[in-house]
Structure formats: structure tokens, C-alpha cells
Amino acid sequence: MNFAQIILPLNLKGTFTYKVPEDLMEKIEVGMRVLIPFGGKKIYTGIVAELFDEFEDSFVPKEIINLLDSQPIVPKQQLEFWNWMSSYYLCNLGEIYRFAFPSSLKLESETYVRLLSERTIDWQNLDANETYLLQALEVRQMLNLQEIEAFIPKKEIIKTINALIDERYISVDEKITEKYKAKEIAYLRINNEELKIKNSLAEIISSLKNARKQQELFLLILDKETENPEKPIRKSEIFDEGNFNNSQLKSLIEKKLVQEYYLEKDRIDSYEGELEEIEQLTENQKLAVSEINKAFQEDKNVLLHGITSSGKTHIYLEKIEDCVNSEKNVLLLLPEIALTKQITIRLEKKYGKKLGFYHNKLTDFERVEVWRKIKKNELQILIGTRNSLFLPFENLGLIIVDEEHDSAYKSRDSNFFFNAKDSAMMLAEFYNSRMVLGSATPSLESYDLAMKDKIRYVPLNERFGNVDVPKFEIIDVKEAQSQKKIIGNFSQKMVDEINLQLEHKKQSIILHNRRGYANVIECETCGHVTYCSNCDVVMTYHKSANELKCHYCGHRAGKPTTCPSCHGANLNTKGVGVEQIEEETQKIFSEAEVDRMDVDAMRKKFAYEKLYEKLENGETDILVGTQMISKGLDFENIELVVIPKADALIYVQDFRAEERAYQLITQVAGRAGRVSGEGKILIQTYNPSHSIFELIKNQNVKEIYDYFLDERKKFLYPPFVKLIMIELKHRKEDKLNRASQFLGSVLRKYIPEECILGPEKSPIARINNLYQYQILLKFPKNKNYKIYKELLSKSLEEFDEITAYKSIKRDFLVDF
DNA sequence: AGCACGCCGACT
DNA sequence: GTCGGCGTGCTC
């Protein structure tokens, strides 16, 4: 093959054509990494997407510099997956490639400055920066731009370098450096060759009699080797045990008596304890497993709808075991790795070294190691967050998406938007493998698919050990207020119930899903509130840090003591945050140990681990927290969950607000009475007649989902339509406004009016100094979707023709 | 995404 | 007058 289409790690449309040099023609394959020149002098690592022979175009392709792999590093299923993602989520292949790969696998050239020796330096005629740079280069012959930044201001670097190039003192070069380095550990061994030559051990030992320490060291190593010939002797271990120094060791090495050697070590320690068998299933669980098996035989994927603590994990384990037994691999997706200890511990004990983890907390080198192990098929089971969808699986047989409703699967930590749950379904298809979605509160979309038997619905309605489900009670705040039975944000009833738990040494959870102490600090005199300087939002008051924070850009400001506008001293807080609820709780239950769990409290190192311990040991009596507390806290001693301000969960302007409220409340409720079956949930609201509370209270799945489906049908939301949100952003509002209007008009030229909403200002009109506009597309779900999507692409091409609008940043949120 | 080229404001 | 700002265009 003479030519190749290459995916570059850049946010550019499509692929680029390169010529395959003669000597690589035999070796090159689709999915390999190649080194290619691009632009002026930059060198990037690209991926071979396609190979072909005929090439006819006006430009002359450059040549591939080299191959980086002897075998494809991206399996063809992954390439298919990338292509699908690119067209479905309207993003460039290069962005996907960049997101998919650990950066150490993407070599990139770096610009270096080098000292030329052809001219003697005339130090008199140099300015300060030039002098610094040349002096630095006399010490170290090569420097990269970052290193230079340390002693020359950023904006003066280019000038300085150019001046010195003109004087022919220096030159610039591009250099590629291998980033990944295996971690190596030093070991020692007796040099047996030498021993054979010398013929006598005693002779050697006596030869060292004038160097007592060396003799001692030699004997120690010899001792260890005889003791256990199989076990390598770590250098650090020797130095730990005896009082030796490096020069003594060096002498022994010079005398060829001892050898030092290195072995590569995994950065990730895998479990090496005893392996355990998995537990027996209950009758109910066995039934669910056989349902799943039946579905798989019919080539159907599964939605496992198991109520909280029904033992979905057991069923996963069973299916994982089946898959592993048939020599195939498993991917288990979790929303966040840190909050799901239980499941990982159990799997570790069953599979030990065959289990791998992949998530955002790993360092880049650790990612590379997992990547390689997956590639070499050393891991049979991978537990990971959504970025593990891109690992180079070879033989995937099963994908499990746990807590499939979780919004973390749609998190926006990548440049492009994608839903990991839906993507997993496609990935499963490309690998011809099966998939299980699991949740106690499935997303409406998955539930709808299941009802239509597009995926098989497998319910699991019994709590493990046949324990009772928690009981819900709705408390009318208005009524409590009129009867004067209210203390701050808590009704008397709520306080009594918590006291009851404290008496019985049981733990309680208080859910309040709003960060900070108060939503805003307001001046009573003039009404002034502090806005974030970068965003169009008011700043939230955090009492624990005693500062104002912007939850959108992270900007922080000191807490004002007087009004910044009228200098009045009458400042008041508005809107209750979780810190305030915590403070109030501590006041009311002064004897109790109260802890708070939210992103702010968990930011400190090991904060989560410490809190987890406290909860497990029963030291914490009352846990106050945001939605974070709905995940992973499976403790036996929690029996009460209270939600003092449940209305805040519902009146959010988002068509999914009620669905989320239902999921959150049900998930938190599931923490209560897991063993005793005495779980109790108290929900305080001003609107006890709101249907959502009635539905949550009854926990009748069909009723709840029918209600949601009705609402969505009425107002045309998913799953009845497909949504695409176009976000447009720019620093200049007028330009953005013009561009948005233009895009709106182009879209309306091709696509029916009723499918297009906007453009309009986003609810938060400015984030991080970027103004935000949005256009919402509601496309039909039938065959027309594809047609409309093509019309959208056509509109975008037309929009792109206006060069002035190229600087407008656009994001597409497909199925957001 | 980077990098070069080209046209307008604030400084020696 | 120049230096340096960023708006624009291009990269196989």
C-alpha cells in the first residue's frame, strides 16, 4: 500500500493523507501509530486509519517518518467505534484519539534551543535576556521552551531567541522524546560465572578479609541466595538490613563478585492475597440470571432493574464468571471509581491479578501500563470509568454499565460530549459482545427501551435477605409552621425521629443538595449581591472556607464585612446550603457527632477514606451531605434518611429535574435499613400534593415511569424526540449574537421550524468570560433522524463558510 | 491545535 | 518611527 489516511491528535476535521515510504510498506497496518511531520516542523504521532494505493489530488502528500508499533495498537473495533462517535456526537476523530490515548503514547516533538559553536560570543553587545540564555546554554547545551521560561518572561522569549539566531549563536531544533519510562527496581545477585572461574568460595571470602564490610555484604547476599534461590534480592532490602554503603557494593561489583541488575515493576499493585469463590445466589437472583441468559441467547441486551440492596452485584459477578469461563473479557463501567469500594474488593478477591482498574485518578504512566496489559490480554476484567471505553480490548464478551442512570456517564470532562452508556451499547455491538445495564432507578430512556423489548427487562424486586423496603413519609412544612412545630429548617417530627435514632445508636442521613453555606450574601439596605467577575452568576458563600465561590469557574473572593456598594453593615444570607444545614444540625443535636459529605469537604486528601472509617465504626451519628451521599455508602447501621428541603430538588429548570429527584431520593433511601428492614425516609415539602412526592412515597415503578413518560410525551422530550443542543461561545457578545442568529437562519432553511428552538442566551449567559448562546434541536426519532442530522451537517458547513465566525466555539450535545 | 502572516494602537 | 496586539488562514 502506497498511501495512508492518518488520524492526527488535533481538533481538525477528517484524516490526512501521507505517503508510505518503501521500507515501511510491508510492515504498516491499520491501527498502528506513525510519526508524521505536520505544518512547519512539528512532528506528531498519528494513527493509521486506512491504507490504499491510488492517490489523485492536487497536493503532494508528505512521507511518514516512521512506524511506532510492530502490531496495531488500536483494534479495528475501536476504529469503528471512533468513527461512529465522530459522526453521532458531531466531533472530530482527532479529539477522540486525544481523549482515548494516555498522553505518553502520543509522542510529540518539542522545540529545543541549541548552542552553536561557530562564533565566539561578544558578551558586550547582548541584553540581559540574551546573556542569561547563552549562559544557561553554556552549562546545558540544549534547553526546551519551558526550561527557558524559568528565567525569561514568556513574552520576551521569542524575541530573545530570534535575535540570537540572527547572530548565529544558537539554532532551534525539534526533538522527540519517549515519555513513558518503565519503573525499574535494582536487584543484586552473586556472579556465578566468576565463582566458577575462581573455583573456590572460601578463596573468595578470604580474599576479602582486608575489607570486612565487603566480606559481610558478600556473605549476606550469598546467604539470601542460598536461602531462597528463586527470590530476587532487592538492593534496597540489603541496604535496609545492614549498615552498608554504595562504595562497598561498587567494589564488589568491580571485583566481579556481585552483579547489579534491573527488573521492570508495575506501578499498580494488584491484589495478591487468597482468592475467594463468589457467594451463592438467592432463588430470586438465580431467576434473574436465567432471564439474562435467555435474553443473551436471543441476542438481546439487558436492563437489570434491581431495587437498592437487591444484590445486583451478585448477578454481575455471576455473569462475569460466565464470561471469563468462556475465555472472553469483561468491562465493568462505574460512574466513579472511588465511591464504589465494595464491588471492587469483592472482584479483587475473586480474580486477583486478572483484574484491572482504569480511571481519572491514575497517573499517565499507570494508564499506559493498564493499556499495555489490556493489549497483551493479561487482564480479563477491567473496572473503570467512562474513559475505559477506549482501551484496546481484544476479546470483549460482556460490558456491564452499573448505575446506568448516573449523570457521570454524561460528564463533560472531554472536549466533546458523549453518553458513555449509549456509547457502551455501540461498543458492545462492534465487539459483538453482550451488555447489561444495571440500576435501581433506570433512566427513562433505558426503561422505555426495555418496555419496548429493544433490550430485555429483568426486574429484581426483593431486597437481599428478603428485608423490607424503607417506608416513606411526607411532611407538610406549611402545616408544621402553622402549628409552630418547626425548628429552623426542621419540623418537630423530623427532630423527634432523629433523636429516636440517636437513642438507639443508629445513624441518620440528611440530604441537602446544595453546596456552600448560603446561596448568596445580600445587602439588606441596597439589595447588592456579589457576582462572579468571570461569570453571570451570584457567588455562593462558603462558611467553612469563609469565602465566596463561583461554582462555575472556581473564582474565589473574600467574604465582605460591609456592603461593597453602599457600605452598609446589614448583610444577610439567602438560600440555604448544606453547610448551614450541618451547622443547624449540630446545634439541635449538640451531643451527636455530625459530619458533612460534599465535594468541598472531600477535597482534602483521604477525607473520603477517613469519613468512611468513621461511618463504618459508628462514630458518626448524623451525616449531612449533597447528592454524593447517595453513592456507595452501604452501612448496616443507617436507618433514617431525612430531606428537609425536598422542593429544591424539583424546581430546577431542567426537563429531567423530576426524574433526577426521584432517582436521588430513591438512591439515598436505599441506604436506610439495609439489614434491619426498618428504614425510614422523611421528606419535607411545601407542596405535599405534588404528584412526584406521592409517586416516590408509593414506590410503584410502573406508576412513576408512566407519569414521567406522559410528561415527556406532552412536552416533546426524550424518549419521544432526540435532542441536540448546540452551544455557541465567544468572548464578544455582539459577535456571538450575530453568529447565533445566522446559524439559526441557516438551520431554518433546511430543517422544519418546529424542530428548532432558539438561538437564545443560555441560562447562564457568561461562564469564564465566554458568552453563551444555545440552539436546541428536537429531532424525530424515526428514520428522519438521519436525514435531519445530515441537514444539520450541511447547515454547519454553510455556517463555516463565514470566516469571521470561525472563532466562535461550538459544542454539540447529542442526547444530553 | 499551533504557527505564520498581516494590519492597527501605545511606546522608546 | 517600531513593537506587539490578535484576527485570519493553513496544515496532508
| Same-domain check for residues A23 and A130 | no
Per-residue pLDDT, A308: 85
In a domain, A532, yes or no: no
A650 φ/ψ angles, rounded to the nearest 5 degrees? -100, -40
Strand ranges (DSSP E) for A433-499? Answer: 434-439, 456-460, 471-476, 486-487, 490-491
What's the CA A156/C1' B12 distance, rounded, in angstroms? 17
Q: What is the DSSP letter of A24?
A: G
Instruction: State residue A341's pLDDT score.
Output: 67
Domain boundary among A696, A713, A730: A713
Nearest to A755 by CA among A787, A730, A709, A707: A787
Predicted confidence at residue A381, as pLDDT, reads 94
- Is A538 part of any domain? no
A91 is in an annotated binding site: no
Footprint of strand B on the protein (CB under 7 A): A 10-12, 39-40, 42, 111
- Among A86, A107, A128, the domain-final residue is A107
Amino acid in position A266: D
Q: A495 and A639 share a domain?
A: yes
Rounded Cα distance between A386 and A446, Å, is: 18
Q: Are residues A707 and A726 in the same domain?
A: no
Regarding whether A746 and A694 lie in a shared domain, the answer is no
Is there a domain that residue A130 lies in? yes
CA closest to C4 C1', residue: A155
Q: Tell how far CA A426 is from the center of its chain.
A: 20
Rounded average pLDDT per 10-residue block, chain A, 816 residues: 94 93 95 90 91 86 92 96 96 95 85 81 81 86 80 78 82 76 85 70 80 86 84 85 84 86 80 74 92 96 92 91 94 82 77 89 90 94 95 96 95 92 97 96 97 96 85 94 91 96 95 94 91 91 91 89 88 93 96 94 85 92 94 87 95 92 94 88 94 91 96 95 95 89 94 93 90 95 92 92 88 95
Q: Which positions on strand C lie below 7 Å from a protein C-beta?
A: 3-5, 7-12
Q: Is the CB of A59 under 7 A from strand C?
A: yes
* Same domain? A149 vs A35: no
A553 labeled part of a ligand binding site:
yes
User: CA A2 → C1' C12, Å?
Assistant: 14
Q: How far is the CA of A534 from the C1' of B10 (A)?
A: 27
Number of domains in chain A: 6
User: Is A447 in the same domain as A497?
Assistant: no
Q: In terms of domains, do A24 and A121 share one?
A: no
The separation, in Å, between residue A146 CA and nucleotide C7 C1' comes to 27
Length of chain A: 816
Å: A113 CA to B12 C1': 29
Contact flag, residue A39 CB and nucleic strand C, below 7 A: yes
A323 is in an annotated binding site: no
A805: domain CATH number? Answer: 3.30.70.600
Q: Quick count: other Cβ atoms within 10 Å of Cβ A391?
A: 23
- Whether omega before A688 lies within 30 degrees of 0, making that bond cis, reads no
Measuring from the CA of residue A95 to each C1' atom, give the nucleotide at the shortest distance: B1
Nucleotides in B strand less than 7 A from protein CB: 1-4
| Cβ atoms < 10 Å from Cβ of A101 | 21
Nearest amino-acid residue to B1, taking CA and C1':
A10
Do residues A321 and A398 share a domain?
yes
CA–CA separation, A134 and A138 (whole Å): 6
Q: Which nucleotide is nearest to A38 (CA to C1')?
A: C11
Residue A38 approaches strand C within 7 Å at CB: yes
Residue A744 inside a domain? The answer is: yes
Is A523 labeled as ligand-binding? yes
**In the 8-state DSSP scheme, what is residue A142?**
E
Residues A317 and A387 reside in one and the same domain = yes
Q: Which helix (H) or strand (E) holds A166?
A: helix A154-166
Predicted local confidence at residue A788, as pLDDT:
96
CA Rg, chain A, in Å?
32
Q: What angle do CA A588, A589, A593 make, to 5 degrees?
A: 140
Predicted pLDDT of residue A690 = 92
Domain interval for residue A402 = 283-465
Q: What is the model's pLDDT at position A19? A: 95
pLDDT at A32: 96
Residue A186 covered by a domain: no
Q: Residue A133: give its domain's CATH number.
A: 1.10.10
* Alpha-carbon span A798 to A747, nearest angstrom: 10
Together in a domain, A45 and A138? no
Tell me, yes or no, whether A555 lies in a domain: no
Same domain, A296 and A200: no
- SS3 string, A646-704, reads CHHHHCCCCCCHHHHHHHHHHHHHCCCCCCCCCCEEEEEECCCCCHHHHHHHHCCHHHH
User: Domain boundary residue among A177, A202, A220?
Assistant: A177
Rounded Cα distance, A396 and A433, in Å: 6
In SS3 terms, A581-643 reads as: HHHHHHHHCCCCCEEEECCCCCCCCCHHHHHHHHHHCCCCCEEEECHHHHCCCCCCCEEEEEE
Q: Residue A768 CA to C6 C1' — how many Å?
A: 19
CA of residue A803 to C1' of nucleotide C9, angstroms: 9
The dihedral region occupied by A483, where left means phi > 0, alpha psi between -120 and 50, and beta the remainder, is alpha
**CA distances, A89 to each of A83, A85, A211, A698, A743 (Å):** 10, 6, 71, 38, 18
Asked if the structure places residue A553 within a domain, the reply is no
Protein CA at A567 to nucleotide C1' at B3, angstroms: 50
A37 CB less than 7 Å from any atom of strand C:
yes
Do A477 and A618 fall into the same domain?
Answer: yes
8 Å CB contact between A191 and A258: yes
- Whether residue A526 is contained in a domain is answered as no
Domain with residue A74: its CATH number is 3.40.1440.60
Nearest nt (C1') from A145 Cα: B2
Find out whether A566 is annotated in a ligand binding site: yes
